[in-house]
Structure 1
Amino acid sequence: MVAVTVLAIAGMLVVRRHAPDGSFFHDGDRAAGVFGVLATGFAVLSGFVVFLAFSSYDTARSGSEQEALIVSQQVETAQFFPEPARSELTNELVCYARSVAGVQWDRMQAGTLGEELNPWAGEMFRTLQTVKPSSATEQSAFDIWLSQRQAREEARRDRLHGAVGVIPAPLWVVLFFVSGLILLYMLFFADSGERAVVQALMAGTVASVVTSLLLLLGALDQPFHEGFGGLRPVAMQRTLRIIDEELVVAKEKVSAPCDARGNPL
């Protein structure tokens, strides 16, 4: 934003040296009216796009938190299964959480995750197939697990939806095209009779507003990043700490078949 603002100010001051007194426009009111149309069109378009991008951002954030919550609940549900499924499912849930907060989160940031399933979800499904409920408690836990699994996958889908971006390329082209028109049109307001600081302020404020809006759209459209305002795996990291506390209460010892980032050992 600083770089674009400096360039806009420099361009205005350069054009100002060759501009006539009163700007290039003979009728300033008419020119201001046309500039208002350009600015209003950009504002309305960017407003709708901000709403669209923020909705996707909020869905990804909510999905991350919901997925983390369901994982911690599934750990509790797994304690009602018979052995060895209880220990296996518990260990695989820990690896699932580590994978989400570790290697899968990195791939989301890089845009390389795609539609690939979490490998530990497949491991849990295979383990669940070996469970044969023999009591009412185990049957109830089995049914609850299936419901939680479905809810977890839906929450994961919401999380991944924000990683691919919702603003299509043609819309980005239009936004940059209109932004360029606004900055170009502004240069024709250069006035050699006006003080340089006033002309610099006019160019700098317009360039700052336009650039900041485009940066905001970029941040909302790609929410998974390490920069300011980016979504981080805080919820799943918190869930891992909660799981540790839950397993202490359940007197269950974890022997997870994965490293700290969820990679299989």
Structure 2
Amino acid sequence: MTNLLWLYDLSDFWFCLIVVGATSFVGVAGLVPARILLKRYLYKTGHKNEVVSYFLAAIGVFYGITLGLIAIGSWEQFSDVQSNVSDEAAIAGSLYRDLSQFPEPARTRLHDELRQYIVATIEKSWPGMQRGENPREVTELLSRFTDHLGAFEPASAREQVLFAEVQRQLNRMTEMRRRRIEAIASNMPGAVWVMVYAGAFINIAICWLFMIDSFRLHALLVWKMSALIGLLLFVTLELDRPFRGDLSIGPDAFKLVHDDIMMAPDQVPRATARGDK
């Protein structure tokens, strides 16, 4: 599977075209020698298309159900990772707002460091994840923010409660981040892919066993079957790598938090002034 990672660097159009083209080529190219062997060994031995149809229907049902379940599982994993990314960004926004209640100079310093981390996540983490990497410098920014937050000493009961809440939010964000990093290398085991590819070949090979006088008609039917299997393989491949390819999870949630919360005018002084009154 790792040998196919270069496909994710292509656009969806070319990715789909290559996968569907490969399965179609196997189907149509294999039909030529298959028909020669059929005419030589099977056409005179009571060969019946009905028997082949029964086997194709049975094997096709089993393979279709299996591949469908795999595709659904890949989609559920993709959705879980996407939801995790959204939650991580939302927690980062909540954390930034909670830090607005910290006294100076801790508030400005922690705001700046959290903003730098979010910017680095957008500009460095995501390109790295699309290559299957986790940039170390982004982790260092989060570690620096965590160290400076841990060094803060609450001076009142209110600050103690606020500090505890901020620590809780940071722990949740760190947990979500760890799940996101783990999803970079998360994919189906090789044994599953062997079953998927072998099942695809078996279904295509069964289509070769039909007795059809017209080669063009036979080739057209095999091509349609092969193209459909190729489309299913393309969707499964795309969903298997949530951070790679055109159909990948982007940093939109983090950009929204950065633009709407972290770059918004600071409302804390006016809120504090109202509280003082």
Give TM-score, length-normalised by structure 2.
Answer: 0.79
Q: What is the root-mean-square deviation of aligned Cα atoms in Å?
A: 2.6
Does structure 1 retain, via aligned residues, the 8 Å contact 2:49–2:211? no
Within-5 A mapping of 1:124-135: 124-135=145-156
Partner residue in 1 for 2:12: none
Letter in 1 for 2:188: I
The whole-number CA distance in structure 2 between the counterparts of 1:75 and 1:41 is: 51
Q: For the residues of structure 2 that align with 1:20 and 1:41, how far apart are their CA atoms?
A: 29
User: SS of the counterpart of 2:55?
Assistant: helix
Does residue 136 (structure 1) correspond to residue 157 (structure 2)? The answer is yes
Deviations 1:136-185 (A, max 9, x none): 33222201101111221222233234322231111111111111122222
Corresponding residue of 2:256:
238
1:107 aligns with 2:128: yes
| Structure 1 residues 79 and 172, CA gap change in structure 2 (3 angstroms) | same
> Residue deviations 1:9-51, cap 9 Å, x none?
3543675577549x85712221111122221221122122122
Aligned to 2:5: none
Shift of 1:238: 1.2
- The residue identity in structure 1 corresponding to 2:220 is L
Name the count of aligned residue pairs: 247
Residues in 1 aligned to 2:242 and 2:76: alpha-carbon distance in whole angstroms: 11
User: Conserved in 2, the CA contact under 8 Å of 1:108 and 1:224?
Assistant: yes
2:214 to 194, 197, 203: 194
Distance 1:214 1:165, change over 3 A: farther
Which of these residues, 188, 193, 210, is aligned with residue 167 of structure 1? 188
Q: Distance in 2 between matches of 1:141 and 1:209?
A: 57
Q: Which residue among 174, 177, 202 is the counterpart of 1:153? A: 174
Question: Judging changes above 3 Å, is the alpha-carbon distance between structure 1 residues 149 and 3 closer, same or farther for their aligned structure 2 residues?
Answer: same
Name the structure where helix makes up a greater proportion of residues.
2
The whole-number CA distance in structure 2 between the counterparts of 1:141 and 1:222 is 39
Residue in structure 1 matched with residue 67 of structure 2 by the alignment: 46
The equivalent residue for 2:24 is 5
Preserved CA contact (<8 Å) 2:124 2:138: no
Question: What 5-or-longer segments of structure 1 have no aligned partner?
Answer: 252-265
Q: How far does residue 107 in structure 1 lie from its aligned partner after superposition?
A: 1.9
Q: Which residue of 2 aligns with 1:215?
A: 234
**How far apart in 2 are the matches of 1:195 and 1:179?**
22
Residues 59, 162 of structure 1: 8 Å contact kept = no
- Distance in 1, Cα, partners of 2:49 & 2:169: 65
State the partner residue of 2:243.
224
Segment drifting more, 69-78 vs 47-56: 47-56
What TM-score do the two structures reach when normalised by structure 1? 0.83
**Alignment correspondent of 1:179:** 200
